[in-house]
Amino acid sequence: NWVAIGDLNNDGRLDLAVANYLGNNVGILLGYGNGSFAQQTTYSTGDGFDTWMITIGDLNNDNMPDILVTNYGADSVGIFFGYGDGSFTSQMIFPTGIGSKPIAAAIWDFNSDNRSDIVVVNYNSDNVILLLRDSSQPFLTMTTFLTGKNSNLQYMAIADVNKDNFLDIIVANNGNDNIGILLGYGNGSLMKQITYATGNGSSPSSVAVGDFNNDSLADIAVANTGANNVGILLGYGNGTFSAITSYSTGNVSNPYSVSVADFNNDKCLDMAVSNLGSKSVQVLYGYCNGTFGDSKSYSLGYTSISYSVTVGDFNRDTWLDIAAANYGTDSVEIFLQACNTKL
């Protein structure tokens, strides 16, 4: 259902961590550095836990990557602490609230104590929660921030959007056709959400942050599943943004996940999108001025359902590649970029 990348065994090669929703487990696929991967090793998350999303970070300050998952069916997040050799402990569970249905999570330091905290977006309870890492009772201090009735959050991005050196949170409010900005104070608290419309019936599902017009300010990309487009909101550097400008991903494409990277080495950020309806991964090329032009699509197959797309150099040729988690085929699809061929 979801894929994250990182060097999980400290060999300098990118590995894959996968959230297997129906299998109720986490899969680890160690990379060989040539674009291929070992068969997965799995770690159970629990029967009926419906593990949705996965991310990688250091949660105990031992300089070894750990894994964080959202257990949509069990109203919890789970942590697998890493040993640094590609193996992990069994899951440690932290509740996110009865009926919350956590759908996405991230690992960052939100209270400026140099320790990793956890932020979770809850689909059903319409809120963002922070689990702060207290030295005596780690991740048991939970603070809740509302995002609006029936917001039905889908995803989030973390960035400093107002240049105060504190992390802020950007959420996709799928049910209310907007994105929300929650500015951080750097002490574990957040400002009340400010929203920006994404269009009637747009149903935004994913957000990503990058500098799309080379002004050194954070901009936002949003995948609008219901509107068949990707929207760009240019940042003013003070936590506010322009109105949305949209770029079509094709009729009935239903884009779900968006990632940003420079795929063609022109120093301009591009976008990679997973399209549920057209069953494809699509790359939209940026012009460095906040606009986008050419795009190219790659088929995932007739039975594919891809909720997650991410970017990394899997064969160490200095050109960025794409990984897409394919729920419909129980697989991860890897698209390798040839150095002389535009992905």
- Assess contact for 332 and 29: CB atoms under 8 A: yes
Q: What are phi and psi of 241, to 5 degrees?
A: -140, 160
pLDDT at 196: 98
Instruction: Enumerate residues 6+ apart whose C-beta is below 8 A from 182.
Output: 128, 145, 168, 169, 170, 171, 190, 191, 192, 193, 194
3-state secondary structure of 79: strand
Over range 287-306, report the average pLDDT: 94
- What is the rounded end-to-end Cα distance, in angstroms, of the chain? 23
How far is the CA of 143 from the CAs of 132, 155, 233, 325, in angstroms? Answer: 8, 18, 28, 31
* Token digits of residue 195: 């929203």
Kindly list the structural domains of the chain, giving each domain's residue range(s) and its CATH number in brackets, ordered by start: 1-146 (2.130.10.10), 147-343 (2.130.10.130)
Query: How many angstroms separate the CA atoms of 307 and 155, rounded?
Result: 11
Q: Predicted confidence band at 141 (pLDDT cuts at 50, 70, 90)?
A: confident
* pTM (predicted TM-score): 0.95
User: Residue 266 pLDDT > 80, yes or no?
Assistant: yes
Query: How many angstroms separate the CA atoms of 288 and 310, rounded?
Result: 21
- 165-180 pLDDT, tens digit per residue, is 999 999 999 999 999 9
